[in-house]
Structure 1
Amino acid sequence: MIKITIYQNVKKEYVGFQTEGHAGYAESGEDIVCASVSVLVINTINSIERLTEDSASVQSEEDSGMIKYRFEKTPSREATLLFSAMVLGLKDMAEDEEYSKYIDLRFREV
């Protein structure tokens, strides 16, 4: 199961996330759930880096599927929009009847 924690501040603004684990939907290389989550997450990180002035810290560990991402300060409107699009995609997957048992999506105030 992929565990995803979305971090929000007291104002409910997104400030980062952490992913960990592998879906286990199918064999490695055939797992569409892992691939979909990876595309959403990595595209969001790359988009924020290339299309905004926001800075963030990123840590990853391929074997465990861990990615930690934290904005260094309050994200811009553009970064928030990109981040919100990622959350929308992850929510849709986590609520889908076929995929919900492979994704644990949580929100945590930090």
Structure 2
Amino acid sequence: MITITIYRTKDIINGFIVEGHSGFAEEGSDIVCASVSILSYTAINSINLVAGVDPEFIIYDVDENIGLMSLRTLVNNDKTDVIYRNFMVGIELLLEDYSDYITLKFEEV
């Protein structure tokens, strides 16, 4: 099961963590893991390339062996908000068909 935790302060999203493997299919054929991965990697890269947040204000970690990807931004703007909300929409759409493999929760920080 993949557990996704969205970190927010009031209504401002400032990061997320993705943990685990879905178990939907074997490695290399798992469309659920691949979908979550592409949403996560796109968010991480977009924070810098689209939202213009300097790398020194982006904290992230990736460990594919244990199935971990985390992202936190120390600076947020309108574009980071759109990127985080886009990530969340993608995850919510996946939940519609794959809720046995993904859990989404929110944590106030």
What TM-score does the superposition give when structure 2 sets the normalisation length?
0.92
Unaligned runs of 5+ in 1: none
Amino acid at match of 2:34: A
Describe how 1:30-69 pairs up with structure 2 within 5 A: 30-54=29-53, 55-69=57-71
Distance in 1 between residues matched to 2:46 and 2:12, nearest whole Å = 18
Describe how 1:1-110 pairs up with structure 2 within 5 A: 1-9=1-9, 11-54=10-53, 55-73=57-75, 75-94=76-95, 96=96, 98-110=97-109
Query: How far off is 1:92 after superposition?
Result: 1.5
Identity of aligned residues (%): 39
Structure 1: which 4+ aligned runs deviate by more than 3 Å? none
Q: Secondary structure at the match of 1:88?
A: helix
In the comparison of the two structures, how many residue pairs are matched? 106
Q: Secondary structure at the match of 1:101?
A: coil
Distance in 2 between residues matched to 1:53 and 1:46, nearest whole Å = 10
Unaligned runs of 5+ in 2: none
Summarize deviations over 1:12-71 as a string: whole Å, max 9, x none: 210110111000000100000000000111011111111122231011111111111111
The alignment yields a C-alpha RMSD, in angstroms, of 1.0
